[in-house]
Amino acid sequence: MQDALSATQDCDIIFVDPDNGLEAGTKRHLKQGPKYVFFDELEPYCKREQSLIIYHHTSRRGTAEEQVRERLAQIDERLNSSSTFALLYHRGSSRAFLVVQSEKHKTILTKKVERFMQGPWSQHFTVVRNR
């Protein structure tokens, strides 16, 4: 993680692509642990005021939208964020792109997503907001 932090020091937006997504009760030292990203690993990026996009697979418990809303609430609480949303991809297996916006990127990211959702890919995505 220290190498990743160093390599991304001057980046505005960090894309995190763990195999399974955001931590889900698995301990990091167990076999499945490295397949997840943990909140404490994301905190330094937020402290540097970088925006995050976290690739996350949904599970079979509840609807994908319910799961994403729950994850956004966890992000808001654990990363002290108030500006999260997700792009839920619903073609094939369900997955989400969880977006944690820094204040300095909030306007531009919101505009880019609005524009994206006016294009042809909008049929495959739903924007999910925690609030």
Write out the chain's pLDDT in tens, 131 residues. 889 999 999 999 999 998 888 888 878 887 777 888 999 999 999 999 999 999 999 888 889 999 999 999 999 999 998 889 999 998 888 899 999 999 999 999 999 999 999 999 999 999 999 76
- Say if residues 69 and 85 touch (Cβ distance below 8 Å): no
For residue 46, give its domain range.
2-129
User: Which of 60, 21, 27, 47 lies closest to 103 in space, CA to CA?
Assistant: 47
- Number of domains the chain contains: 1
Q: Can you give the pTM of this predicted structure?
A: 0.91
Tell me the per-residue pLDDT of 101-121, one tens digit each, with 9 for 90 and over. Answer: 999 999 999 999 999 999 999
Average pLDDT, the chain: 91
